[in-house]
Amino acid sequence: MKKALRILFAMFFLSSMAWAGSPGVTFLLRSGQKVSFAFAQKPVISVSNADLSVSVSGVQRVSYAYADVQRIYLSDDVASGIAPVQSNSSQQSVTFSWQDGVLGASGLNPNEQVRVFGLDGKLALSGRAQADGSVQLSFSSIPQGVYVVRTQGGLSYKLFNK
């Protein structure tokens, strides 16, 4: 009964509060796990059957079994875990090229590492940029398929080796 009153109390505050920051909901689960959600709009918590669900603009975003939830916390600012993108004019401009099974990259920092991973996460190829900021990686020794190319500076993209 106490749990039901707490949840109803939380739902009341959630629906009646005017939120200044990023509205958020934190579920403390019986397993000890703490799960937080940040929303751009005010969320609505509802209880139906044996589930608790969080909806935004009428669209259900997440649902938990009522028996698995120990507490619900409401807060004005829940960290989303996504860092904002920083624009910086000093960022390098890397150019990739593909010709006859050879991946070329220019505009890298000297000695910057470029790695190629298979979709299984295993390293397939790697190389380091020369003093002029270029590197050449031959795909002739690896099987056809989809690969992820990642620079040491954090730039990455997918490539299909036919």
∠137-143-148 over CA atoms, to 5°?
Answer: 55
Q: Answer whether 0.75 is exceeded by the pTM.
A: no
Residue 23 pLDDT = 65
Given a contact cutoff of 8 angstroms between Cβ atoms, the answer to whether 75 and 38 are in contact is: no
* pLDDT tens-digit profile, the chain (162 residues): 666 656 655 555 554 444 445 667 777 888 887 777 776 677 777 887 788 787 777 776 677 887 888 888 776 655 555 554 444 444 567 888 888 889 999 989 999 999 999 888 889 999 999 999 999 999 999 998 899 999 888 888 888 887
In 3D space, the residue among 25, 99, 104 whose CA is nearest the CA of residue 62 turns out to be 25
Residue 51 pLDDT = 83
Residue 17 pLDDT = 45
| Other CB atoms within 10 A of residue 17 CB | 12
Q: Report CA torsion sign: 25, 28, 34, 35.
A: negative
Given a contact cutoff of 8 angstroms between Cβ atoms, the answer to whether 138 and 124 are in contact is: no
